[in-house]
Amino acid sequence: MGSYLLVALGGALGSMGRYWTGLMAARLCGESFPWGTLLINVLGSFVIGFFAALTLPDGPLPASANVRTFVMVGICGGYTTFSSFSLQTLALLRGGSAPGALANVGLSVMLCLLAVYFGNMLGGRIGIGR
């Protein structure tokens, strides 16, 4: 039961962060392209890659399974927005913007893979207490 509570609490925090980030991106960039969702997914990919490497048992800052579950499943799971990405991509297609839909898919996949890679590399290189 404890791990479910950790996921629920982390998910609530991640969801609130996602909502705020989406609002800020819409205010700054407009709503003609899902910039907020793209940003959220890239940031979430970076954080999960960074935290995964940083908190491995032999990593720079080992963390318990509960802490990893709270952050990686709860917060990152609540923060990232693959379902929103999919719906917005479909809306771009249905709205006649196949180039926009392809850009959203391409940018999301490339930038999120790069973000998780760099986050993982950075998290693995931090030498806290070594």
Q: Which is nearest to 40 in space by CA: 118, 96, 121, 115?
A: 115
For residue 129, name the pLDDT band (cuts at 50, 70, 90).
low
pLDDT at 128: 66
Question: Is pTM, for the whole model, over 0.85?
Answer: no
Domain positions in the chain: 2-125
d(CA 93, CA 105): 11
Q: Is the pLDDT of residue 130 over 80?
A: no
SS3 4: helix
Q: In sequence order, which residues have a C-beta less than 8 Å from that of residue 64 and are 6 or more positions away? A: none
Average pLDDT estimate for 105-126 = 93
Whether the Cβ atoms of residue 114 and residue 49 lie closer than 8 Å to each other: no
Helices (H), 55-125: 65-68, 76-79, 82-94, 98-125
